[in-house]
Structures are given as C-alpha cells and as structure tokens.
Chain A
Amino acid sequence: MYIAFILCNFKQQFQYRASLYMRLVGNMIRIYIQVCIWQSLIQKEVPTDQTLIDLVSYTVIAFLIERLTHNETADTLAQKVKEGSIAIELIRPFSLKWYLFYQQLSENTFSFLFIGLPVALISAIFWHIRIAGVIELGLGFLSIVFAIFLSFNFQYAIGLLVFWVKDATYTRLITGGIVALFSGSLIPLWFYPETFKKICNFLPFRYMMFEPISIFLGQYTIKSCLDVLVIQLFWIVLLSLLAQFIWKNVQKSITIQGG
C-alpha cells in the first residue's frame, strides 16, 4: 500500500521539477535566516548553556522532522467533503485514517529525501553541525518515528473538524500556530519563559519536535531518553482515542454534499 503510494507520488512530484527547485531554495533561505538570528543572538553577553553549533544543529534537525511530520490531512479531507467524494472514501475496504496516513507519509518521504536531506547536507557544509553519538542516533530515530505517529494523530483529530468547519485553511492555521508555539519548532524550549515552559510539559506538542531533537543533540541520559519514548507512546494512545471519539461523532452527523 505504502509502496504504491510512494511510487505514484514520486512520479507526480517529478513532473514539477521547477517547483521542487524553488522549494529547495526557499527552505535553504529559511535555515539561513534562522542561523543568522542565532549568530546575532549568541554573540551577546546573555549567557546560554547552548553553543551556536547546538542551535544550528537544532534548526537543521527541526527542519528534517518538519519534513516528516508535515500534514495536509485537513486539506485533503476538506476537499473530499466539498466535492462529496468523501462518500466513496467511506465505503472503501480500507480505513480512512490509515489511507490518509499512508498518503501523507508518502508525500513526506519524498520531501524528506529530495528537500530535507539536500538542504541538511548543504547546511552541514556551510555550518558546523553536531550529533551526539550512535546510541543517541538510534534512540533519536525511534523517537522521530513516534513523533510522526503522534503528530499525525493530533493533526488527524483536528482535521476531522472540517466535517463541521468545511474549510481547512482555518484548522491549519490553528494547528500550525499551536504546534509552532508549543513544540519548539520555531524556538527551542530552552529559551522560553519559565511559566510557559511548565505549560509545555503538560502538552503533547514538545514530544513532536523538541524532545526528539534534544535526544539527537545528546542533552539527555539514556534513561531520560527512554522516558521520552514512553511518554510519546502514552500521548499517541491518548490522541488516537480522541481521534476515534471525534470520528464516531462525524459518522453520526455527516452530511454528504452532492453525488
């Protein structure tokens, strides 16, 4: 299933090569801006525990994770609801959730391989990037896999709201805003004000971005790494139950447009 999606998607994407180059350039710019900001901030007299290398590495890993957790489920759903083709999806012998998951994953694999990795490589040439060790690398990868599931379950649960809101632009803005703010994708949680940091502890979002990166950077002992993985699992279960609950309600109240 996944393989089929991937092949189909790659073919589609390669059709628009110009668009791909633009995305490469655009993302390179984003990383460059962020590095400039760190360079400008870190030279200041305010002391930090993190070095410029840490921050640049953080930025690049965050960018890679973003490629993998990027999510347009809400848009896909909204499109289908508007056109009425959602009716067909509902009678397919395959759960809608996993259909959406594989579709998203295949898109993300593409953007990870052809945008994420090249940009990361170029960044590694320009700036110094450091990752802790082999064990951290392994645990970090596992943690990213969990982060993918975690983020998907959250986005999917919110995405289901388009059955009522009918327009994905807004659910996207809301989830985008919340994730950007609480996950640490814009700014590492190290620099957050204390109260805000505490709030983040009780939310699932830091486990989508900040924690996996911290593992890669070697900020944690092996034991705390394992703790992170367990908490990630806990949130995955909780959010998929939430998604399940919303989905039940959708099925009850769904109205199909046109035929």
Chain B
Amino acid sequence: MKRLFELYLAFAKVNFLTQLEYRGQYAIRMLSKVIGWSTGFISILFLLNKFKTIGNWTTYEVLFLYSLDVLSYSIAGTFFMGAFGKLPKLIQQGTFDEVLTKPINPFLYVICTRVSAGYTSNYIIAILIMALCFTKLDLNLTIGKFFWLCMVIIGATLIQSAGFILTAVPAFWILKSDGLQMLFFSNLTSFLRYPIDIYGRGIQILLTFILPYAFINYYPCQYFLGKNEYLFYPWFQYMTPLVGVLLFGIAYFTWKKGLNAYQSTGS
C-alpha cells in the first residue's frame, strides 16, 4: 500500500510538472475553464434574478446545489476523467495492452498515470460560490456540519467517479462507448443543475433509484438548507456517503468483469 502511494505521488508529480511546464498554456486553460464553467452559474443567476425562485428554491439555494455538483464532478474528474474518459479509445486502438503488462493493479495504474491538474480553477469557483451561499443564506457552519459537508463531498465524488467508470467500461465489450459517455455527462448530469422537484415523477425516480445522481446534490442540500419537502423519505438526505461507497463498489466490480472479458483488438 505504501509503495502504491509513493508510486502515485511520483506519477502525479510528473503529471503536474509537465502540465505546469507550459505556463502560458496553463494560464489560457485556466481562463478558458473559468469562462466555460461560470456560464452555468451565470445562467442560473440571470434566470433567478428575473423569476426569484424555481420550485421554492431561491437563487443562492440553487447556486449551492449546483456548486456541490461542480465540486464533486471536478474532484472526480481530477482522478478519473483522464483515466476513463479515454479508455474506450485506448481499448479501440489496442494500446490498453500496455497497461496490463505493468506489475501493478491496472485500475490504480490507469488512474495514477493520468491525474489531471486542469480542474484547479473549478475547485476555486465551486468553493467560492459555496462559501458565498453559506454567508448569503446565513447558514451556520458548525464543526459538525463542516465535517458532514466533507463527508457529503466525498460521497458525491464517489458517485461521480462511479459514473466515469461505469460509462467507460462497456467499451471492453462493445469497443465504442463515447455515445454513452456523452449521454451521461452532457445530458443526464444537467438534471442536477436545478432542484429535481421541478421534473416529472418518472425523472425523480430515475435519478433516485436507478441512477442515484440526486444523491450528489439534491438530497444532501435538503439537510444543509433545512428543506422539509421530501420527495421519498426524509432519511435520504443522510445517505450520500453510503450511496457513494456502494456505487463505487459496483463500478469497481464492473471494471473487474470488463477486464476479464477484455480481448485485445491487437495493433
């Protein structure tokens, strides 16, 4: 375990350093990410500036909701985007074979070698917005609550990571799964930008029981914002960490299955 950690650090350091080497490029990347990601926040601000509330949620409540999504997505992205975003391509081209020849768990290997430094700006935006929401909404952040917030972020990150893994793994069988990834990341996650009580019952069930994405932000936010309109059960608001661990477990299991089924395309 210790050796693994050292290995991870070594890879991460090399990665961060290479990405930081091109300083001008890095600055442009940060700038572009800030512009790209703030449009989501700005559009929420504009809409709610005009309409005041959406489904009983006020501006800063919605922003808090969204910031939790962006933050957990970015943390998950740091570790899993590089590894699993390109997995279908690696498998298609046959370069995945190389991974299997390394004397280390392939799962850890693909993650360690592809850590990204590109999400720093997202953390900053998301955390700033979150802090802003806490002050604007007069939410008292006690030590207990802070601890719980950290747990929720970890849980939400695990759910997002499981999403990255589960959408990439089918590539082991069908070789091409980028359509699935698109569907997940540019379409299904956009449900999370607004409170899910504005959608139909079918979508609420989908996002709670089938793809439990609502646990990333909607349910935990109910706790922090003191909302008492519960969609299903009140105790759902405490379930994020557990759902995260479970889902990640399932994702890892599927990855194992996929790995066993892997047949090189040769190259």
- The chain A residues found within 8 Å of chain B, CB to CB, are 16, 18-23, 25-27, 29-30, 32-33, 36-37, 39-41, 44, 46, 165-167, 169-171, 173-174, 176-178, 180-181, 186-187, 191-193, 196
What's the Cα separation between A192 and B49 when bound, in Å? Answer: 9
Taking A37-B194, A40-B198, A177-B39 as contacts, is the C-beta distance between A26 and B32 under 8 angstroms?
no
B186 CB contacts on chain A under 8 angstroms = 26
Q: Which residues of B contact A22 (CB under 8 A)?
A: 179-180, 182-183
B51 interface neighbour in A41, A177, A181, Cβ under 8 Å: A41
Residue in A closest to B194 when the chains form the complex, CB atoms: A37
Give Cα distance in the complex from A165 to B38, angstroms: 22
Cβ of B194 and Cβ of A181 under 8 Å apart?
no
Which A residue sits closest to B31, measured CB to CB? A174
**Docked-complex contact B198 and A36, CB < 8 angstroms:** yes
**CB proximity of B197 to chain A, nearest CB, Å:** 9
Main secondary structure of the interface of A (DSSP, over half): helix
Q: How many angstroms between the C-alpha atoms of A27 and B187 in the bound complex?
A: 7
Contact between A30 and B51, CB atoms less than 8 A apart = no
> Chain B 28-42 against A: per-residue CB contact (8 Å), 1 yes, 0 no?
110111011111001
List chain B residues, Cβ under 8 A from A174.
31-32, 35-36
The residue that A29 contacts in the complex, of B38, B55, B188, B198, with Cβ under 8 A, is B188
Beyond A29-B188, A36-B200, A40-B55, is A193–B36 a contact (Cβ under 8 Å)? no
**Complex formed: what's the CA distance from A207 to B188 in Å?**
29
Smallest Cβ distance from B53 to chain A, in angstroms?
7
Residues in A neighbouring B199, C-beta threshold 8 A: 33, 36
Residue of B nearest to A190 (CB): B50
- Contacts A22-B183, A174-B36, A180-B39 aside, 11 further interface pairs with beta carbons under 8 A come to A18-B174, A18-B179, A22-B179, A26-B183, A36-B198, A40-B194, A40-B198, A165-B28, A167-B29, A177-B32, A191-B51
A-contact 0/1 string along B175-207, CB 8 Å cutoff: 010111011001110110010001110010000
The answer on a CB contact under 8 Å between B194 and A191 is: no
Docked Cα-Cα span, A156 to B49, in Å, equals: 34
Q: Which residues of A contact B38 (CB under 8 A)?
A: 177
Count the A-B residue pairs with Cβ separation under 8 angstroms: how many?
107
A176 touches B36 (CB 8 A): yes
Q: Looking at the complex, which one of A32, A46, A193 makes contact with B46 (CB distance below 8 Å)?
A: A193
Measured between C-beta atoms, what is the minimum distance from B170 to chain A in Å?
10
Given contacts A44-B53, A193-B46, contact A170 B29 (CB under 8 A): yes
Query: Which of B35, B186, B203 has the most CB atoms of chain A within a 10 A radius of its CB?
Result: B35
Q: Which size bracket describes the interface of B in this complex?
A: 35 or more
Q: A170-B32, A191-B46 are in contact. Are A16 and B179 (CB under 8 A)?
A: yes
Q: Are B194 and A186 in contact (CB under 8 A)?
A: no
> Which 6 A-B residue pairings sit nearest by Cβ, starting from the closest?
A19-B179, A22-B179, A173-B36, A26-B187, A177-B35, A170-B32
Q: Give, as a whole number of angstroms, the nearest-CB distance from B44 to chain A.
A: 9
Nearest Cβ in chain B — how far from A244, in angstroms? 23
CA gap between A29 and B211 in the complex, in Å:
14
Indicate if B101 sits at the interface (CB-CB under 8 A).
no
Q: Is there an interface contact between A173 and B179, defined as CB atoms closer than 8 Å? A: no
The residue on A at minimum CB distance from B190 is: A33
Cα separation A22 to B55 with both chains bound (whole Å): 29
Out of A19, A166, A178, A196, name the residue touching B25 (CB < 8 Å). A166
- Is B239 at the interface (CB under 8 A from chain A)? no
Q: Does B256 sit within 8 A of A, measured CB to CB?
A: no
CB distance from B63 to the nearest CB of A (A): 15
A-B contact pairs, 26 of them (CB 8 A): A16-B176, A18-B174, A22-B180, A26-B186, A29-B183, A29-B188, A30-B187, A32-B203, A33-B194, A36-B198, A37-B198, A39-B198, A40-B54, A40-B198, A44-B51, A44-B52, A44-B53, A46-B52, A165-B25, A165-B28, A167-B25, A170-B33, A174-B32, A177-B32, A177-B36, A186-B43
